[in-house]
């Protein structure tokens, strides 16, 4: 049985508290997990969460026109959740924010 979103959020919240994250980071990371969960349910209903769906979420956020700092925060939040809370492998890498020159 998969844990409910509320269970996942509580586990993540507990982890962030125990690691002494700031209140602002705590809120932002939980907000990212909620957004990712809604995105996952709308696009990948019935599939387990994975790096592939997290990658799609990060790309989706970029296509929405989000700033690099927002995308980086989303990425950091998901990476920490995957690695530290659900103990899933995380190999997803993102490139730097620098723009390529044509």
* For the chain, domain boundaries: 5-85
Q: What predicted TM-score, i.e. pTM, was given to this entire model?
A: 0.84
pLDDT tens, per residue, the chain with 102 residues: 466 778 888 999 999 999 999 999 999 999 999 999 999 999 998 888 899 999 999 999 999 999 999 999 999 999 999 999 999 888 888 765 555 433
Q: Which fold has domain 5-85?
A: DNA polymerase; domain 1 (1.10.150)
CA distance linking residue 89 with residue 86, whole number of Å:
9
Cβ-based neighbours of 54, under 8 Å, separated by 6 or more: 36, 78, 82, 92
The answer to whether residues 40 and 49 touch, using CB atoms and an 8 Å cutoff, is yes
């Amino acid at each position: 049985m998969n844990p409910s979103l509320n269970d996942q959020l509580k586990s993540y919240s507990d982890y962030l508290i125990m690691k002494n994250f700031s209140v602002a980071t705590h809120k932002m990371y939980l907000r990212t997990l909620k957004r990712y969960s809604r995105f996952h349910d709308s696009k990948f209903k019935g599939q387990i969460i994975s790096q592939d769906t997290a990658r799609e979420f990060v790309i989706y956020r970029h296509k929405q026109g989000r700033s690099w700092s927002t995308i980086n925060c989303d990425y950091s939040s998901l990476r920490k959740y995957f690695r530290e809370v659900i103990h899933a492998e995380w190999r997803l890498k993102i490139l730097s924010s620098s723009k390529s020159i044509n």
